[in-house]
Amino acid sequence: MQKSSRVGLSIIFIVLLTIQGAFAQVRISSPYSRYGLGDLQGNPFAKGVALGGLGYGLRDNLTLNMKNPASYTAFDSLSFLCDVGISSTFNQLQTTTNVQDFNNVTTLGYLTFGFPVTRWWGASLGLTPYSHTGYQMIIRDTIEGAGNVTQQYTGTGNINRFHLGSGFKLHRDLSWGFNASFLFGNLNNIKSVYFNDLTYVFDTRITNSIIINDFNFETGIQYHRNLKNNFYINAGLVYQIPFNMTGKKSFLVERFVASATTETTKDTIDYINIEKGNVHIPGGIGGGFVVGKKDIWMAGVDVAWQNWDQYRAFGLKDSIKSNFKASFGFQIIPKHSSVSNYFKKVSYRAGFRYEDTYLNLHTNNISEYAVSVGFGFPFRKTGSSLNIGLEMGQRGTTKDQLIQETFVRAVFGLTIKEFWFYRRKLD
């Protein structure tokens, strides 16, 4: 086995040993993750982030693009791809009266594999984040008869996605594919009330938790046509199939006494251990196209819509609505075949995305936008690459006692290409 193969296998093995703990430690600091299924993660890949979230029409033999499973047919017939990424996010929260310092959360972003099965069939599997919940808000107030009261709202948890997908060539210029994903994880929302001035009144905590373990499916189609003079055009369409996820929820109300360092539970007022039910994930559709010249430049646009008005969790609606996304991205490679100047072989990327998110709070639709840049640094003679995606944006507003969030995200991705299916011959 070649040295590059041994290095690639070592990296994959180390990542597999640490991936479960890394995903479990995900934390973010956004009060907007309180609603629905939390903060939906969109396109987590470094290349996708740099291109503004582009993906429906994106395809090439060195890209693992699970945003459209039809793109799996682009894998080389002799290659095996591994894509692993680390994500680091800095965010700042702001109201009309206060500005929070930037805080940082760094975590393993994704681990995916792609490989050909036949010349007309490509496959992928991997683990990626679906949504995160992580926030802490403290409200201090004075209530008549109770004195100073502190209310603390805390959220933790995440939902992860393990996918197994396939893409099939229906024609030379047409591919179809699907992703079968298993969603699993838990979300916890906790409200604690501290009666600071009352000696003989216990503090109160309410904990709501849900656990999700179920499958969902999406399907996509992609038209890919090579034109004259190395020009090409790709167009893709993806449909998210609506489904009911099986879930469990628990509910706990308890009274406790808090000291400077500890909290001691005194009694339980209400407790529901396990209540089974469904979480309805609505259908959605997205499409996009990419045009370019092979190994020189490409540009594309994506749009998507999902009917979150139909979302229900254990029969209850939340403060969410249908959402709309739009993305634009482009890439330039100055001279792919350059020998004397390495930086002419680098892929330079930029993008922009806008989202009318699924949140509707105090009659305000919460929107989000971000601008992005990125780079793809190829490894000599291997086909592997280091990809970096950087984005900066804002979400929300300070109107009507809401919160504006400013964020900067950096994603570092390593794409490892190995020729695992090459059969050597002896002269």
- Please give the chain's pLDDT, 427 residues, in tens: 444 444 454 555 444 444 444 454 445 578 899 899 999 988 889 999 999 999 999 999 989 999 999 999 999 888 899 999 999 999 999 988 888 888 888 888 899 999 999 999 999 999 999 999 988 888 888 877 778 888 899 999 999 999 999 999 999 999 999 999 999 999 999 999 998 888 778 889 999 999 999 999 999 999 999 999 999 999 999 999 999 989 999 999 999 888 777 888 888 888 888 889 999 999 999 999 999 999 999 999 999 999 999 999 988 888 899 999 999 999 999 998 888 899 999 999 999 999 999 999 988 899 999 999 999 999 987 789 999 999 999 999 988 888 999 999 999 999 998 876 555 555 5
Cα–Cα distance, 104 to 81 (Å, whole number): 30
Could you tell me if residue 132 is inside a domain?
A: yes
- Return the biggest CA–CA distance within the chain: 93
Q: Which range marks the domain in which residue 302 is found?
A: 3-418
Does residue 427 lie in a domain region?
Answer: no
Quick check: 303 and 288 in contact, CB under 8 A?
Answer: yes
What pTM did the predictor assign? 0.88
Smallest CA-to-CA distance from 346 within 315, 307, 373 is with 373
The answer to the question of residue 59 being in a domain is yes
Assigned domain for 426 exists: no
Number of Cα atoms under 13 Å in the Cβ half of residue 287 = 5
**DSSP per-residue codes, 333-378:** -S-TT-SS-GGGSSEEEEEEEEEEEEEEETTEEEEEEEEEEEEEEE
Whether 423 is covered by a domain: the verdict is: no
Residue 231 in any domain: the answer is: yes
Q: If 0-12 CB within 10 Å is exposed, 13-18 middle and 19+ buried, where does residue 382 land?
A: middle
Would you say residue 149 lies in a domain? Answer: yes
**Residue 93 belongs to a domain:** yes
Split into its structural domains, the chain has a count of 1
Taking alpha carbons only, the member of 97, 193, 191, 98 closest to residue 147 is 193
Q: At 332, which CATH number?
A: 2.40.160
Give the integer Cα–Cα distance in Å for 38 and 253: 22
